[in-house]
Amino acid sequence: MDINEMHSKEAVILRRELKRTQMLCKALIDNYGTITDIISKIALERLGEAAYLWNELDYPVQKLLYIAPSKGGAFNTQERAIIKSFWIISVSDYEESL
């Protein structure tokens, strides 16, 4: 592999990461109220209400928001574990994501 191929592959990876970051930022801004409500409901142990709010979000948005906090995700590790326990993914959601 020559230097141009290496730079080309790195550029593709960086563009992909930039696009994901831009999509994440948009999802965070567009869903700020819901995110803060989910975090509050989890803190108050009102998990049924948190689950309802989470599962009302579109699946592509859920996938973005569920990103690890070290990658810019909205929820900390404990919150993510709780969300995972009540996250309902339909067959159509899964198939659309392929």
Domain housing 85: 3-97
Q: What is the pLDDT of residue 21?
A: 93
The total number of structural domains that make up the chain = 1
Strands (E) across 1-97 are located at none
Per-residue pLDDT of the chain (98 residues; tens, 9 = 90+): 666 676 788 888 999 999 999 999 999 999 999 999 999 999 999 999 999 999 999 999 999 999 999 998 999 999 999 999 999 887 777 677 66
Q: At what angle do helices 3-30 and 32-43 cross, to 10 degrees?
A: 70
